[in-house]
């Protein structure tokens, strides 16, 4: 029996995903929930598990293709005969038993109910798996027309699609595949030096250095031949590459749409505050030598995050959301603190849930975990939703100030610039002090100028004199 698996809804209302890599090929035997592919949504790369145990029959889509939810992506031969086409209960008064209980498949942990024959059953659903009879005569398949979830019925024969021939599958991890994709490297051309031929990040970098290097992209050197397979040919004169075109998709596409919506929906106001943060820098120096905080990794971002959480308690309007359809203002009574992170895939804003309940050590640990996941490409879609207010640290790039755009659905975003040694008025004299500029953008529908100014001033007060926290709580 052939089971067709359609791209499921991966959550967050996303309608399409890119197949990053197949980890199986036609003829491979798979087990239930086995990791069969890496799929990139607009927010994260996720592992796609198999909804069946059986043999891979056909891969309907090659790697690198953007697939819409509900489109077939892989077929499995699970053995056995044809299933009943009707799931309606029979008349129990005639002595017939009701059909076995069924469960809908979800992304991870399908947990299907088992019928009397021991085979999983599943209710047909959009983006899920569907049963079709196996071809009875020929192994030569004809092209299958595009279908929508509503256009397929389990009681109608389906024409088997044309198999997609694939090269031998390279072994690597999702972060390595993401790096190779960003650099335009075909992993089938890379020799793996890891265990059992596993391709590592060093293998990808070593492959790049075999060609003449060009300026770095996202901190990684790129060879002139490292053009993504989907990119249009570059227009060049001699060896001078004039331009390269690549499709707008995945994270970049979502980020662009979100920023445009935010910029032209929420009336932005940005305020700036430059402060002497020498006391905070001295506090951090003392914590690094304190055995109680040894290895805690508390830095300036940790302190700014804590100061923001404390200031939210005094100006709650910055921690709200404008619900246009409901005609309501949503006031959050918790702080899910978003941290803007630059990654090889683009801008991500994962958040720390209930950041206002964490102390400095807890915030430092949460920030470290968040940063590690973002850089390795393992941030989950769940971690990228539900934020209530955001911090972006542009100071790590040597930038003093900016006008950050609000993360959609949030009322405020704080940008922290670089800490610089500058001449500053201190106790009636000019001294060399550690100076930082904060930039606060807020939605003027939700936050008045007075409220935004007070919120920014509170954060500045804490950073300029950490002891003043005692007067604010």
Average pLDDT over residues 36-49: 81
Instruction: Give the tens place of pLDDT for each residue, 64-115.
Output: 888 888 899 999 998 865 444 434 444 444 444 444 334 333 443 333 333 3
Do residues 188 and 167 touch, judged by C-beta distance below 8 A?
Answer: yes
Domains in the chain, ordered, with CATH? Answer: 1-167 (2.40.50.100), 174-236 (4.10.320.10), 251-471 (3.30.559.10)
Question: Token match 């998709």: residue?
Answer: 249
The pLDDT value recorded for residue 401 is: 96
Better-predicted residue by pLDDT, 466 or 92: 466
pLDDT at 20 over 80: yes
Residues near 289 by beta carbon (within 8 Å), at least 6 away in sequence: none
Range of 228-242, 344-358, 385-399 with top mean pLDDT: 385-399
The pLDDT value recorded for residue 134 is: 40
Question: Token match 């005969």: residue?
Answer: 81
pLDDT at 259 over 90: no
The pLDDT value recorded for residue 83 is: 46
Range of 22-31, 97-106, 227-236 with top mean pLDDT: 22-31
Tell how far CA 56 is from the center of its chain. Answer: 28
Residues assigned a catalytic role: 444
The pLDDT value recorded for residue 249 is: 67
The pLDDT value recorded for residue 224 is: 32
User: In 3D, which of 205, 222, 267, 228 has the Cα closest to residue 452?
Assistant: 267
Average pLDDT over residues 36-51: 82
Instruction: Give the tens place of pLDDT for each residue, 145-198.
Output: 333 333 333 344 444 545 544 445 567 776 677 667 766 677 888 888 887 788
User: In 3D, which of 287, 173, 187 has the Cα closest to residue 228?
Assistant: 187
pLDDT at 468 over 70: yes
Q: Which two tokens stand for residue 403?
A: 């006008």
Q: How many CB atoms lie within 10 A of CB 93?
A: 6
Beta bridge partners, 389, equal 337
């Amino acid at each position: 029996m052939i089971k067709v698996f359609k791209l499921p809804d991966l959550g967050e209302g996303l309608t399409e995903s890119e197949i990053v890599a197949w980890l199986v090929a036609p003829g491979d035997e798979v087990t239930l929930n086995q990791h069969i592919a890496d799929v990139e949504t607009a927010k994260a790369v996720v592992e796609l598990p198999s909804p069946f145990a059986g043999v891979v029959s056909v891969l309907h889509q090659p790697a690198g293709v953007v697939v819409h939810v509900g489109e077939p992506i892989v077929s499995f031969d699970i053995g056995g005969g044809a299933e009943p086409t009707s799931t309606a209960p029979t008349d129990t008064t005639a002595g017939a038993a009701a059909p076995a209980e069924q469960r809908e498949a979800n992304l991870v942990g399908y947990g299907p109910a088992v019928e009397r024959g021991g085979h999983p059953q599943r209710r047909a659903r959009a983006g899920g798996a569907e049963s079709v009879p196996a071809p009875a005569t020929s192994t030569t398949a004809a092209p299958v027309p595009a279908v929508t979830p509503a256009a397929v019925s389990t009681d109608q024969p389906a024409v088997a699609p044309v198999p997609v021939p694939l090269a031998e599958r390279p072994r690597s991890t999702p972060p390595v595949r993401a790096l190779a994709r960003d650099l335009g490297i075909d992993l089938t051309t890379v020799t793996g030096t890891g265990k059992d031929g596993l391709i590592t990040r060093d293998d990808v970098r070593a492959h790049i250095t075999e060609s003449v290097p060009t300026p770095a992209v996202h901190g990684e050197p790129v060879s002139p031949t490292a053009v993504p397979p989907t990119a249009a040919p570059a227009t060049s004169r001699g060896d001078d590459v004039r331009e390269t075109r690549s499709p707008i998709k995945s994270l970049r596409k979502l980020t662009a749409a979100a920023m445009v919506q935010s910029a032209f929906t929420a009336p932005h106001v940005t305020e700036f505050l430059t402060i002497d943060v020498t006391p905070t820098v001295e506090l951090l120096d003392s914590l690094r030598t304190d055995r109680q905080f040894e290895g805690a990794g508390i830095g300036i971002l940790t302190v700014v995050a804590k100061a923001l959480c404390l200031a939210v308690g005094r100006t709650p309007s910055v921690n709200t959301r404008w619900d246009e359809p409901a005609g309501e203002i949503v006031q959050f009574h918790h702080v899910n603190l978003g941290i803007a992170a630059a990654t090889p895939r683009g801008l991500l804003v994962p958040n720390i849930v209930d950041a206002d309940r964490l102390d400095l050590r807890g915030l430092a640990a949460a920030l470290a975990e968040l940063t590690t996941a973002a850089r390795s490409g393992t941030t989950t879609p769940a971690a990228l939703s539900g934020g209530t207010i955001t911090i972006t640290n542009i100071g790590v790039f040597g930038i003093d100030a900016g006008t950050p755009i609000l993360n959609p659905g949030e009322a405020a975003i704080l940008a922290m610039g670089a800490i610089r040694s500058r001449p500053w008025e201190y106790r009636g004299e000019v001294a060399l002090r550690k100076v930082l500029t904060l930039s606060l953008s807020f939605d003027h529908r939700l936050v008045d100028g007075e409220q935004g100014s007070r919120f920014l001033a509170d954060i500045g007060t804490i950073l300029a004199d950490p002891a003043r926290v005692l007067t604010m709580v």
